[in-house]
Structure 1
Amino acid sequence: MKKHLGLIVFGVICFLMSSMKMQGQEVDSLLENHFQEFQNLPDSQTRSEFFFGNSNRYTLNPAYDWLDSVNIYLNTAEKENDSTAIVDYQLMQSQIYYDLGDYEKSLAIAKELYDRIDDFKMKVKTLILDLMDSNYAKLELYDKQIEVRRYKREIGITNNISFYDIYSSLGQHRKAMADYMTEEKKNIDEGDFLGQAIYNNNIGNYLRLDKSTPTALSYFNKAKALIDVYFSDVIKVKTKNEIVEANYLKGIVLGNIGKCHVQSKEYEEAIPYLEESIETIKKYNSGKFSTELVENTLEIAECYLQLNDYDKATDYLSDDLTPVRIENVLKKNRLYAAYYDRTGDYKSAIDYLKRNNRIRDSLDVNATNIKSQQLESVLSQDLEYSRKMMEEQKADLEKSRNEISEMDERISLVFISLIFTLLGFAGLVYAYLKSIKNQRLIAEQKHFIENSLIEKDSLLKEIHHRVKNNLQMVSSLLSLQTKNTRSKAAIVALEEGKSRVKAMALIHQKLYQNDDLSVIEMQGYIESLINSVQSVYKKGGHNINITIDAEGVELDIDRAIPFGLILNELVSNSFKYAFPHDEENGKIYIHLRKTAGQEGFFEYTDNGVGLPEDTEERANSSMGIRLMNRLANQLQTTLNTDRTTEGVRFWFNFK
């Protein structure tokens, strides 16, 4: 028995050593001289396939060597008037400029090819349009990017048009995440670990950009674990490009984890992740310009600066770092200014701050309005695309109905002919056949009614989803307006309006998420509403102990909307006025009961400073109090107010 056990252990050790050796050989093979192999290929077609098929092509030779070689081949092709070779080398030329971060040159070459796009095969069209799409994104020309994507759909390169990445670039990270989850999650197989890792990394990035750092970190950690599972899967055969892409993705995920720690001011925890990320990206994205590499380098420089390790901070800042995006240029100058300020070189600090001021002054004063117009354009395109999709679905449904109707008519004619043919038979046979026909018609009608109900539910959910999205867009537009408003009173009014719009949007979100579209489960809705209000009043909202007692209560939309707006006003007032010193023993109690056939009861109390003495005089001038009274009238009730020894109590009965 011991002998057999020893053989088994020995065999396992040998297998593991063999696997490690093979993996080391596989990684080493990634460092092959792709440039030399590229030059040895016989023609432009094989070179193009090799070039676009190797994502880590710049490992041993920089992109400039490739560009010089491609330029020589292009000149030769032009002298020989080889039109096919000219197109192949121009595509490679455009891709190399993109990899170097020279997006304007890359776009200029791609646009020149686009003018003759009807002359090319689908593979070449796809490369041209993908290059234009990527360059427009980097240059923030989102309206042009939308046109490219619509054209892709028109010529059959893609069936669906997605806008989530554009929404995120315009600051709408939550909407981008919602659309991304809706469109992409259904396309990922359970066994596709790399696809799941990409999905979780993208969701985490939307949350990180939206400042939901703890939740984003959980998605990034899950993505990292999935990449490890992908590498440990010895059954699936992986190509060299797949190994490169997976390692590059791991570098991006590690950098995102580090960025989350920086956002949480956990600088020592962030440094190891950022260092490993920089090393991995340099290795597996060699020779290409990488925004992630720039951002991670700036992040680690900030960590060392915050930890007062100025030597390492300047080492990273003085690294061969050439930011392209304006925000990265501003951040680099800001870090240099902070470094010189802390080391006493105030003149240099002021110089870098002046650079940032000049950059900001050089930006278009209408940048915010342009961004708003782009957002409006994307939204209109999205709505137009959704409308066309609904029209196509409606046309298909109508066609199906007509076919069913024609089939019913043919069946009826067959039965009528059969009845006349069999008139000589006994009445029993006739009655039997008629019974069969009636049963079939009943079954078809039942099936039709069931399908109609399903279609109605789907359309209602889509309507609520669209209404929620439109209300969110109104909230976003109010946010943009707030940034352009200097009046504090106007800003407060806009923020209050935005909070009320969010409360209504939450109603529609809960409706389309429910299986039953007629009612809303109030416990979950109140919890979501509290979280939304807390995100606005971050300073005091998180130290208050909030108790919600509404389990099992369901309201229809006509009562849920005024109720939600009343509760939004009460909670907002508590956060703003009830606890001016941010007491940790602050409490809010929300009680809601509704029994079938009986009156409902709502109660809201807090132990704050209570109502001022001139509350009744303020009622006539306060928009919030007037709004709550009007909403109570919609519920056919009266809002009652009681002053207590600690805080205040609001309550009312409703039908």
Structure 2
Amino acid sequence: MEIKSMLKVFTCALFFTTSSLTLLAQKDSIGISALEKFKRAPDLNARATSFYVTPNRYSVNSAYDWLETVNVYLDSAKKIQDTSAMLSYQLMQSQLYNDIGDFDKSVALAKEVMAVNDTVNNVLSKRALILLDENYGKLQLYDKQIEAREAMRDRGIIEEVSFYDIYANMGLYRKAMKEYIRTVGTTIPDGDVFAKAKHHNKVGQFLKLDESPSTAINEFKKALGYLEVYVNDISEVKTQKDIFESEFLKAEIEGHIGQCYVKQKEYLEAISLLQNSSDKLKTYVGDTFKGQLVDNALYFAEAHLQLDNNKTAKNTLEGIRAPQTIKQEISLNKLLATYYDKIENYKSAAQYYKKNERITDSLNAIENTVLKQQLVAIVGTSDLDNSRKLIREQKLANERFRNEIQAKDERIFLVYISLVFILLGFAGLVFAYVKSIKNQRLIAEQKHLIENSLREKDSLLKEIHHRVKNNLQMVSSLLSLQTRNTKSKAAIVALEEGKSRVKAMALIHQKLYQNDDLSFIEMQGYIESLINSVQSVYKKGGHNINITIDAEGTELDIDRAIPFGLILNELVSNTFKYAFPDGDENGKIYIHLRKNGDRGYFEYSDNGVGLAGDFDQNTNGSMGLRLINRLVNQLQSKLNIDKSKEGVRFWFDFK
């Protein structure tokens, strides 16, 4: 999981460092610090304005200095029972704890403000919900973050709710893409071609993150097409700013295309695109493209390493001074280690591998900190709600008791008899109430244990699939290493085929641990990723073939998905190797997969040279075809082959 926020320990260090370096040097234009202006404000509204509109509250005073001051004002408000001031200062506390990195405390305070529904005004509601949204995102409590956004919509703070950034943070890039298209793509006017260019660029980025580079390239090329229409439209007057934006957008898109080419192992095509993109983006004034510049350099260096241009790769890597994310830093260390492995400087390579191990250890520590804050945020809020509920119930019970005492005073003649019945009834109510509370607590504890057990089970299953995928990738890497040390062409072919089959199984486990539901695999995306993987193994061809995949909405469990993956791997590999000996410019592949209830149907065809007329699958089938037959038998079906028409067609039914 990618960590997108600085957590408490790092944030505290940042604030202490900033405070010590700039305490005496930086003041505002009239020599008064922002905190001093806050103290001198005449009333609550002026202080709130000073607090929220200050662009950099911590240029002179740290967040802890601010927190100490706000606590003083909050204590004063509590003494005079000024509810409005108390809520306002509590919300400032919540903001300060968020800035410090105590996200659980920030959540508790913001929720406490939101709980007072009858006195919270729209401004405080908006600020509290925005804080909850931000805190839940940093705590990775994405379900709570979605609830906060829906609450903003229900209160009229925002009109349209969008969750695509949340899905992307969760690693659900396909789902994020669909949500982005639904909420953003449908709002773009038909005539706004520049907006359409940016839209397809964003969709392409989601597909690139989903490891579907060939599909992503199609979206990026659509974006370039719209951008070219925009630039060549002389009917629309463009400012210098518009021209610059279009140029930088083009450079950004070309960089993404270059990165996708590297993922597809088309290194020569990638190098010029990455170089041109970086040359243009370096001229941009600001930090907008710093992250992409680092990505471009990493992919550029990887391409040169694969082409054995080791010196160019090293110079590029040494030129990367400030990785923007932990993922980029890990990638940089990995590429430097690869470089030193290539030149047989294993001592230096080991140093970079150790750097990545230390980063991994730090990430594990950070993740444990996040988990602790998640527990505090959830459990603390629950206890607060239960306390308020018990107080309200006690108030109601006290009111009922006072009414009963008054009634007894008015009916003196029946006081003794009434007292006996009242005491018996009250004792029964108390007994029932206590028993009910115990049962509710027992149910809540059991529910909590069950939910924790289910979450732990899902987490363990995902970890198992992740490790299986990693082990299969290690097997694939060992096969690649053996291929380099093998001179026999037949052995090399056999090893490459084995590597392709291992990758097909690894891809199944990768899709499983990326899914919310560990029971099924969405086959459309899996088939696209599998074809990309096969293309990377058979570098000589396959990229010009028109591939049609008709499996949208079809899901299979792992017991069926693995045989299907291996079957499809064999069929696509055979097509790439044998179907188009004279060139694949007009090549076509059609893949159809459907499952309706307990029955399913699979069909694969290409328009290549086909099988020999006297071919008999029962007598002279290849190893690949024998493997396909066994896998089809495993699915309780029988393979059918039609070689009477152009190319070849395979199909079978399955349960």
TM-score range normalised by the length of the shorter chain? 0.3 to 0.5
TM-score (norm: length of structure 2): 0.48
TM-score if structure 1 supplies the norm length? 0.48
